[in-house]
Amino acid sequence: MNMGRICVVVPSIRPEQFNNFFKKAWTDLFEQYNVELIVVWDGENPHLEHMGKHYSVKDIMRDDADLISNYTSACRNLGFAYVAKFLTNTDTIITLDDDVTPIGDTIGDHLKALDMRVPISWMAVGTEYTRGFPYGVRTEAEVVLSHGVWEGIYDYGAPTQLERGNPAMEFYKMPIPKGVYAPISGMNLAFKRKALPYMYFAPKEEGIVRYDDIFNGICAKREFDKKGWAVVTGYAKVEHSKLSNVFKNLQGEVKGIELNETFWQGNETHSYFKMYKEKRKRWKKFIENET
């Protein structure tokens, strides 16, 4: 397994949280895998920090600065753009939230997952291939995205939090079949460089927040399916320690919940999706011009 240069992109608006919690928790793994850390500092004027140097949105995006949103975890797009433009020998991008810690070897588990070839036309019924599972599809597709999961505080939507709190759950460890969607959280995610043109977290516009990673996951999965690329879930874990404010989350999710019910089915009639489609096109052009 050789995944080359690895960059970890972390969005944060909490310097004390980041320095006292995140950096200490990940230092050993980052050193083990020679990881380069990129921090996107969110706020009124988002900026990026790498190797002690700071870069504004304009420094990186130039005329495409409006592709970057603030006060949303989608600000991590600035980190993805920076990798595409300046770190051209980066092979693997991992993005993490600033309130997660590793469970076991999270980095290594992502790398192993990205090194796999898996079936996407057929789905196994257990942890082994049983009789009748075609041999020809068992290494059918290259994995380009590893969706990691979490323990501790689970990534529930606000309505579930209000109704049930934080119930324990178990996760699947599997490829996501072709034509099937999954709620792809940006909290613990790894992908190959070739996926960068399709990894554009949805911008914060028209009051729609907390669906930036979910809408990105839907759009990216569509493109990966066309290309015969695979997405896997559950192979890498983190501990999530911070329970966000459920009432604030509900306010942010209200509009997105309704739109998400039909967006995955191809309903893009809402003005938000027309904007998102146009920005995805510009994002893809930006990344491909820089890569």
Smallest CA-to-CA distance from 230 within 125, 113, 110 is with 113
Average pLDDT over residues 214-231: 98
pLDDT band of 256, cuts 50, 70, 90:
confident
Is the pLDDT score of 164 beyond 60?
Answer: yes
pLDDT at 92 over 80: yes
Q: Work out the average pLDDT over 107-121.
A: 98
Query: What percent of the chain has a predicted confidence (pLDDT) above 70?
Result: 98
Q: Does 5-290 carry CATH code 3.40.630?
A: no
- pTM of structure: 0.94
Examine the pLDDT at 244 and tell me if it is beyond 80.
no
The percentage of residues in the chain with a pLDDT greater than 90, rounded to a whole number, is 80
Q: Which residues of 247-277 are buried (b: 16+ CB within 10 A; e: fewer)?
A: eebbebbebbbebbeebbeeeeebebbeebe
More confident residue, 21 or 283: 283
Task: Among 188-197, 216-225, 245-254, 278-287, name the one with the lowest average pLDDT.
Answer: 245-254
* Residue 182 predicted with pLDDT over 70: yes
The Cα 87–Cα 272 span in angstroms is 32
- Identify the residue whose tokens are 């870069």: 55
**What is the amino acid identity at position 216?**
N
Q: How far apart are CA 146 and CA 113, in angstroms?
A: 6
Token pair belonging to 25:
């928790």
Task: With cut-offs at 50, 70 and 90, classify the pLDDT of residue 243.
Answer: low
The amino acid occupying position 221 is K
Query: 246 vs 149, 160, 169, 210, 284, CA distance in Å?
Result: 20, 10, 19, 12, 34
**One-letter amino acid for residue 270 of the chain:** H
Give the H/E segment covering residue 146. Answer: strand 141-152
Question: Is the pLDDT score of 19 beyond 90?
Answer: no
Give 212's Cβ-side CA count (13 Å radius).
26
Strands 117-118 and 90-96: unpaired
Residue 137 per-residue DSSP state: G
**Quick count: other Cβ atoms within 10 Å of Cβ 41?**
20
Token reading at 24? 């200490």
Please report the pLDDT score of residue 20 as a whole number.
81
Q: Give the pLDDT of residue 209.
A: 86
143, two tokens = 């994995």
Residue 2 has a pLDDT of 57
| Banded model confidence at residue 167, pLDDT cuts 50, 70, 90 | confident
Confidence of residue 260 (pLDDT cuts 50, 70, 90): very high
* Cα–Cα dist 265/280, whole Å: 18
pLDDT digits (tens, 9 = 90+) for 57-73: 999 999 999 999 999 99
Residue 214 CB neighbour total at 10 angstroms: 21
pLDDT of 1 higher than 60:
no
Whether the per-residue pLDDT at 291 is higher than 70: the answer is no
| Per-residue pLDDT tens over the stretch 183-207 | 999 999 999 999 999 999 999 988 8
Residue boundaries of the structural domains of the chain: 5-290
pLDDT band at 3 (very low <50, low <70, confident <90, very high): low
- The residues with which 20 forms a beta bridge, in sequence order, are none
Q: What is the pLDDT of residue 70?
A: 95
- 34 has a pLDDT exceeding 70: yes
* Pair of tokens at residue 227: 């290309």
